[in-house]
Each structure stands twice: as structure tokens, then as C-alpha cells.
Amino acid sequence: MGLRWPWLVVLPLATAVGVAAVAWTTHGVGPASAASVLGPVPVPADNPQTADKVALGKLLFFDPRLSGNNTIACATCHQQAKGMSDGRPRGLGLGGEMPRNAMTVWNVAYMHAIHSDGSRASLEEQADKSVSGPAMAQPYPALFDELRAVPEYRQRFAQVFPDGVTERNIARAIAAFERTVLTFDSPFDRYRAGDKSALTSEQKQGLDLFDSARTGCSSCHVAPLFTDNAFHNLGVPQVGPKAVDNGRSDITHNDADVGAFKTLTLRDVEQSGPYMHDGAFTTLDQVVAFYSAGGGPSPHKSPLIKPLDLTAREQQALVAFLRSLTDPTARVTAPTLP
């Protein structure tokens, strides 16, 4: 079986070094790492990673104090056992059901724009607006009071940030932690690194299909991140509390973007259902069947979406391959909150 993907990937880095070309190295050279599989983690120059900052951000990520009624944390919607999502068709915020699915945060450090419509330019902006927005609905003055009332938080903020507890620093700490939420050592990765027994025969068949011109899967779900960081209209049926969702066009105000949503990463995808921007599909089998049928009806549907006419066995093989992208070693453990 020939692998035809270009395993040399170019990742834009929001750092002073600009752009780095990263070659996929093999596990035989050493232990797998995010850098060897995915490339260097992009880190903005104005928010460098430090161990103390990451530790503070992890506490904040798991702390329900960040919500208006102290019941919802970032981790409520992003749980490891559920693929760093929440297992619901659509997220549940402080005011009730949200209009869209809670996207996974695995490898979110590598995403060029955050949210299914790309409305957040950085992890810092995403963290900031999640706290004060509908999801958590926590006014920042009240949050400052709550955090400053905790001696450990006062100490940790002072250690990391000279100006202590501020809106900007809360967002910067959470973003720093999220840049450590990485998954990169799946059976597929071990297979790619040379262990030809890491995939079953059915998964290898699914990989061939995934990589083929016939399906075009890999043209949008580009390895090793399994996303093109772009937005496409698939004709996904609109379900949930929002009758119409224009997706990316609400941000760009471009008619060509109507109904377009971000290509999600497929890493650990078997754990992160329901699927699509509105949780329209419960299982991977339903997702693959949807693609096989050529997506759904939409006047703005991407020309990349076309009927694939896959047999039932071929659809099963594709689903089997998608399950090979689950990293059994990936862990995000809850800390003890102060």
C-alpha cells in the first residue's frame, strides 16, 4: 500500500521565528512527541509558555468559579473521556442549550482560528470571551473578587504575572494550559512510524480509501492534524435551537461563506461525538454515510462534496480507520482546586 500524503507539513507559527517546516519523524528515533508528529507548538510572542503559567491555567480551566453561578468550568464542556468535548449535540451554557456543538480542544494550539465559524483569532480571545459570554456568563469584576479571595490564586498570579489577577492574565493562563492539551500517539501514528501491525487490515483498507482521490477525505482532513483549518459548506441539516445558522459568513459577511463551518480535526474523533457544528449526527457511521451520499442539500455547498457511492463494507472500513486516530496515552487529569 502506498502512502501518497505529503508528510512534510508547513505550520504557521505566531512567534518571532515565523514559519517552520516540520518533518514527521519516526518513533524508532525516539519517543513520540507532539513536535515529532505535529510540529512545534505555535506560541505567541506576547504569551510565552512557562510551567507556572500552565499550572495556573489548568486550575482555571477546571474551576467553576469562572462561571456566573459557580457550576460550569471550561472542563465541563471539554472532558477527556468525551474527546475533550461534552458528549452533547450542542453545548450547555449558563443560560441553557447553546446553538452549536462544543468543539474538541485536542491540539487546539495548532488551529488558525477558533470556533466552528472562526470567530476567535486566538486561544486567548477564546478564553476571554468564553468566561464573559453566554457559555459561562461571569462578569469579570465578580471573578476578580472571587479569585483574589483565594490565597493560592493570589500567590500563583503574582508569581506568573507582575500585575496579578486581570482579565488579560486569566485568558493568557488558560490559553497556555490549552497549548499543552495534545494528542499524537495513536495506532495510526505508530503505523506511520513503521509499526505495520498497529493497524488492522480493515483499518488499512480505510486508510487507503481516506487517502484516495475517489473519496478526497485527505484533501480537507489533512494529516497530521487532520484539518485544513478552512471552512466548507457540507449541506449539514440544521438542528437545535437555532433555525438558521449562516456559519462563517456571519464573520466574513461574504455570501460565499454561507453555511460554511470549520473542518474539525479527526484525532480522537471516535470519542468526541455527536458530530458536525450542530451535533446533527450521533455516530461516525452516520457521518460517513452522509459523506458517501454527497452531503446534504444546499445552494452554497462546497464543490468538493460529491456522492462517493461507498459500499457498506467500505464505509465500515473508513469508520475503522477513524477509530485508529484515537490516542490511548492522551491524558488530561483534573487538579485539586484551591
Query: How much of the chain exceeds pLDDT 70, in percent?
Result: 91
More confident residue, 100 or 30: 100
Mean pLDDT along residues 253-271: 97
Q: Is 90 exceeded by the pLDDT of residue 332? A: yes
Q: What residue type is 266 in one-letter code?
A: L
Boundaries of CATH 1.10.760.10 in the chain?
A: 51-178, 184-323
Give me the pLDDT at residue 136, please.
97
Q: Is 80 exceeded by the pLDDT of residue 6? A: no
Q: Is 90 exceeded by the pLDDT of residue 10? A: no
What mean pLDDT is reported for the chain? 91
Give me the pLDDT at residue 11, please.
32
Q: Which residues touch 222 (CB under 8 Å, ≥6 apart)? A: 5, 9, 228
Give me the pLDDT at residue 328, please.
96
Helix (H) or strand (E) holding 144: helix 140-148
Q: Tell me the per-residue pLDDT of 103-149, one tens digit each, with 9 for 90 and over.
A: 999 999 999 999 999 999 999 999 999 999 999 999 999 999 999 99
Of the CA atoms within 13 Å of residue 27, those in its CB half-sphere come to 16
Mean pLDDT along residues 234-253: 97
Handedness of CA 227, 231, 234, 237 (dihedral sign): positive
Q: Is 90 exceeded by the pLDDT of residue 14? A: no
Q: What residue type is 155 in one-letter code?
A: Q
Give me the pLDDT at residue 203, please.
98
Going by the DSSP 8-state scheme, the letter that residue 30 receives in this structure is S
Q: Which residues touch 44 (CB under 8 Å, ≥6 apart)? A: 14, 15, 122, 124
Q: Tell me the per-residue pLDDT of 178-231, one tens digit each, with 9 for 90 and over.
A: 999 999 999 999 999 999 999 999 999 999 999 999 999 999 999 999 999 999
Kindly indicate the confidence band of residue 1, based on its pLDDT and cuts at 50, 70 and 90: very low
Kindly indicate the confidence band of residue 2, based on its pLDDT and cuts at 50, 70 and 90: very low
Give me the pLDDT at residue 8, please.
29
Give me the pLDDT at residue 32, please.
79
Give me the pLDDT at residue 31, please.
63
Give me the pLDDT at residue 29, please.
42
Give me the pLDDT at residue 189, please.
97
Residues 51-178: name the CATH superfamily. Answer: Cytochrome c-like domain (1.10.760.10)
Q: Tell me the per-residue pLDDT of 49-108, one tens digit each, with 9 for 90 and over.
A: 999 999 999 999 999 999 999 999 999 999 999 999 999 999 999 989 999 999 999 999
Report the Cα–Cα distance between both ends of the chain, in Å, rounded: 53
Longest dimension (CA), the chain: 61
Give me the pLDDT at residue 19, please.
28
Helix (H) or strand (E) holding 92: strand 92-93
Residues 184-323: name the CATH superfamily. Answer: Cytochrome c-like domain (1.10.760.10)
Q: Is 50 exceeded by the pLDDT of residue 292? A: yes
Q: Is the peptide bond before 241 cis (omega within 30 degrees of 0)?
A: no
Q: Which residue has the cell 461525538?
A: 273
Mean pLDDT along residues 243-262: 97
